[in-house]
Amino acid sequence: YIPFWLVFEAIPTKLPHYVMPAYPGMALLIGWLLTLPADQANAPLKRWQNWLWWSTAFGVVVVSIGLAAVCIGAPIYFA
């Protein structure tokens, strides 16, 4: 999928739907790489897995706190 995607990204006169068939395959490959067990992953992949896990956890916490603040603050603001 990656050579297909690179070739179509290099074409100057492309429409967005030309590369759309490559996106599900790339998503599957990336998901497979990121879910490899730690003993099968090399060092750069382990760093990516660790970074993505912590950034996802941080995002979930920030979104949860933001939604809680809106749910608590909106009735007070609009009252």
What is the average pLDDT across 41-50? 84
Q: Are 25 and 8 in contact (CB under 8 A)?
A: no
> What percent of the chain stands above pLDDT 70?
99
Quote the CA–CA distance of 28 and 54 in Å, as a whole number. 21
What is the average pLDDT across 6-24? 79
CA 55 to each of CA 21, 23, 42: distance values in angstroms, whole numbers, following the listed order:
28, 23, 20
Q: Which of 6, 36, 35 is nearest to 22 (CA)?
A: 6
pTM: 0.53
> pLDDT value at position 22?
77
pLDDT at 69 exceeding the cut of 90: yes
